[in-house]
Chains A and B, each alone.
Chain A
């Protein structure tokens, strides 16, 4: 089977599953589950075969539309970057599907849920395989739609419905910038094919800073950077496996993927903006996470923060590395961002699924202050969750440590200010994660659900174990070059590891921030029923808590005061001019013409004779040369 055919199969299998579920199996949840699971297995197997196989850089495309010189075609672009993300999507997707089988067992609407998952897989794979910005945009929108569908799963609950709308609308705002960038790209280069664009830029085309920044707007929306981050915490209204798949591992990573795909379009000014956006997001989200009560919200803000890390890494750009006596320019930003994306996918999915297991065990209790004592009762979940937490906060030896180190080194080499901020964020990360871990799992059981908690079946624990393993080994060099046969070297080789004195410095920094944060949390937060900081420093707590709501308030005020008024004004104008003058006016003119024409049919033969005379005059004028056609 040719690689292109296999890739198409991988892309279309979830679509087929979604179609089957949508058209036939809505009332048969068991069958729907089976179909979706089958598709997920096929995707996982296919993507691993493709990603770990030798085939690279094959292209296949099908042209859908041609308007003059503009052609819309869907095609495949498969290089190491795509292979890496494909593998991630396949593995994490499979884990989430298996987990969902157990998690959603009592949900009567799970057919719709699995259909949504299938559509999401299709859309995400479309983004992975996209060979042109236009195709990427199409699947981008599809992913947004799938996200809406899945967040909206419990649509009978108003918060869920509102959250899904918010997610979609905020994404749309980002996509507007993306679309503008797309149009600009097409106008300037005449194409949006990635290969053609790379060639054009290599050939010396000048790219204004606006173009990559507009395309970055899409990433700002999708990857929830400031100021379009407001949808991600609310998106936790969706079922937990959805949060794991979409809002931790894959969809939000699509923004980073987009950036890496267009890295050749970047100019220093744009990179500066991207860098600071990412950094500020990372810090802001970490600050917000400190005060959260909901286990999923903590993880959501953690995702925001880590995404900020990835974006900041990308914004740091390339690095000149000395090899012997000459210098190499390595796209270190791309490498570091993708590396962190990979490890983050593993441990964040693990954390979310672990949270799902906890929530499921505690009978859908999500407040961490009502949990506790789960270490004994949920051993597998506890172990894997701990591994996830340690990986996230950068415990040396685990995957997250290596990827975070790469980012910190890059920041140190290029922009010490950013390095300081990121280091501070790392402290906060360790702080709130240990807080979460301690309050959730340790101490005595504080709530009804926590007391009767017991481990879910193998469907819930199996994926946790797999992801835990990956979170441990996913950072080592030998994992990529040895175990996986160096298949992703195109990306992994771009990751620059610190050497010599820098190595020691970064190592020390990582350990220091880790210890500071963890110790601080351990000391401050006993495994008690209420937030210690809230009790001791209420004003600080209030300030931090208010950070989160500030953006929502600002947006709300803007919509109510500015946008509504503008909309009413436009409505008024439209009523007068468009509906009134133009539409009814035109109809009126036509009506008048009709009336006039009707008046001619008088039935009076005499009148007809006059018309005859008129025609005669016209003929005479024509013959005399006065009138000419």
Chain B
């Protein structure tokens, strides 16, 4: 049972962040890694909105707006890169994208 206070919301945000980070570390499919990155971003938005609510100001909310925009742009460009990479290397497994090795 998570208490519905600021700390509770922050706990949810933290857990989301942790899950996203775990996914970034553990998954080998680049696309899934990307999705987990989105989880991380979403976690930060939750934290921002929680702070904004419990302090009675609007700035957090506005900032979430920006985060959403940036995330969208980032996803677009990132996926374009992945597609270009896939055309070249025929794979999106992270550990096979290692031509910079040594």
Do residues A602 and B25 form an inter-chain contact, with CB atoms below 8 A?
no
- Kindly name the residue among A598, A603, A610 whose own CB sees the greatest number of chain B CB atoms within 10 A: A603
Complex CA distance for A606 and B94, rounded to whole angstroms: 6
Mask, A206-249, CB within 8 Å of B = 1, is 00000000000000000000000000000000000000000000
Do residues A602 and B21 form an inter-chain contact, with CB atoms below 8 A?
no
Mask, B60-102, CB within 8 Å of A = 1, is 0000000000000000000000000000000000110111111
Task: Say if the beta carbon of B53 comes within 8 Å of chain A.
Answer: no
Residues of A within 8 A of B33 (CB): 605, 609
Question: CB within 8 Å of B: which of A32-64?
Answer: none
Do residues B24 and A602 form an inter-chain contact, with CB atoms below 8 A?
no
Q: How far is the CB of B91 from chain A (nearest CB, A)?
A: 12
Do residues A603 and B102 form an inter-chain contact, with CB atoms below 8 A?
yes
Residues of A within 8 A of B21 (CB): 613, 616
Q: What class of interface size applies to chain B in its complex with A?
A: 10 to 19
Q: What residue in chain B is nearest A612 (Cβ atoms)?
A: B24
Do residues B25 and A609 form an inter-chain contact, with CB atoms below 8 A?
yes
Do residues A601 and B97 form an inter-chain contact, with CB atoms below 8 A?
no
Do residues A601 and B95 form an inter-chain contact, with CB atoms below 8 A?
no
Q: How many residues of A contact B (CB 8 A)?
A: 12
User: A613-B21, A613-B25 in contact; A606/B95 too (CB < 8 A)?
Assistant: yes
Complex CA distance for A604 and B33, rounded to whole angstroms: 14
User: A606-B94, A606-B95 in contact; A601/B25 too (CB < 8 A)?
Assistant: no
For chains A and B in complex, what number of residue pairs have CB atoms within 8 angstroms? 35
Complex CA distance for A605 and B95, rounded to whole angstroms: 7
User: Interface majority SS on A: helix, strand, loop or mixed?
Assistant: helix
Residues of B within 8 A of A613 (CB): 21, 25
Cβ-neighbour of B25 out of A598, A603, A604, A606 (below 8 A) = A606
Mask, B11-41, CB within 8 Å of A = 1, is 0000000000100110010100100000000
Residues of A within 8 A of B99 (CB): 603
Complex CA distance for A612 and B36, rounded to whole angstroms: 14
Cβ-neighbour of B24 out of A601, A603, A604, A609 (below 8 A) = A609
Q: How far is the CB of A619 from chain B (nearest CB, A)?
A: 13
Q: What residue in chain A is nearest B96 (Cβ atoms)?
A: A604
Do residues B94 and A603 form an inter-chain contact, with CB atoms below 8 A?
no
Mask, A604-629, CB within 8 Å of B = 1, is 11100110110010000000000000
Do residues A602 and B101 form an inter-chain contact, with CB atoms below 8 A?
yes
Residues of B within 8 A of A610 (CB): 25
Mask, A571-614, CB within 8 Å of B = 1, is 00000000000000000000000000010011111100110110
Q: A601-B100, A603-B98, A605-B33 are in contact. List 15 more A-B contacts (CB 8 A).
A: A601-B101, A601-B102, A602-B102, A603-B97, A603-B99, A604-B97, A604-B98, A605-B94, A605-B97, A605-B98, A606-B25, A609-B24, A610-B25, A613-B25, A616-B21
